[in-house]
Amino acid sequence: MKKITPSAMPPCFETWCKKFDDCWKNQSQKTGFRHYLGGLLGENEKKNISQMANESIGIVYNRLHHFIADSSWNTDQINKRRLEIINKFSQTNFCRGFSLILNDSGHRKSGDFTSGVGRQYIG
């Protein structure tokens, strides 16, 4: 059942994605990046492109597969940009003894009561 649409992402998602726009050769790569990143950040238990396409409105499996498997983009350039962005902000700035731990398992609670869950802190 399709239940997620890329346009439902918060404005900060598009702001983040735009920081990588000049790394892509064309609009279809920019779109593929947004769809793939949105799928990774989504609530699907399985983070594979088949599941991402099945759970999302407007995402076609073949296009997403092409972006990941066949589209020519420079992984070093993308990683360099990612590190530049992380290093730009004081909260994630690299320094001596620095450790950055990314945890994508936090999900905001909806409502006042969620069974089996105590107090949560999600950034």
Residue ranges covered by each domain of the chain = 6-88
pLDDT tens, per residue, the chain with 123 residues? 556 666 678 888 899 999 999 999 999 999 999 999 888 888 777 788 888 888 888 888 999 999 999 999 899 999 999 889 888 876 766 676 766 676 666 666 566 665 555 565 555
Q: What is the pLDDT of residue 62?
A: 93
Q: What is the pLDDT of residue 39?
A: 86
Question: Would you call 56 exposed, middle or buried from its count of C-beta atoms within 10 A (0-12, 13-18, 19+)?
Answer: buried
- Among 45, 17, 42, smallest CA distance to 30 is for 17
Alpha carbon distance 78, 111 (integer Å): 38
Q: CA-based Rg of the chain, rounded to a whole angstrom? A: 17
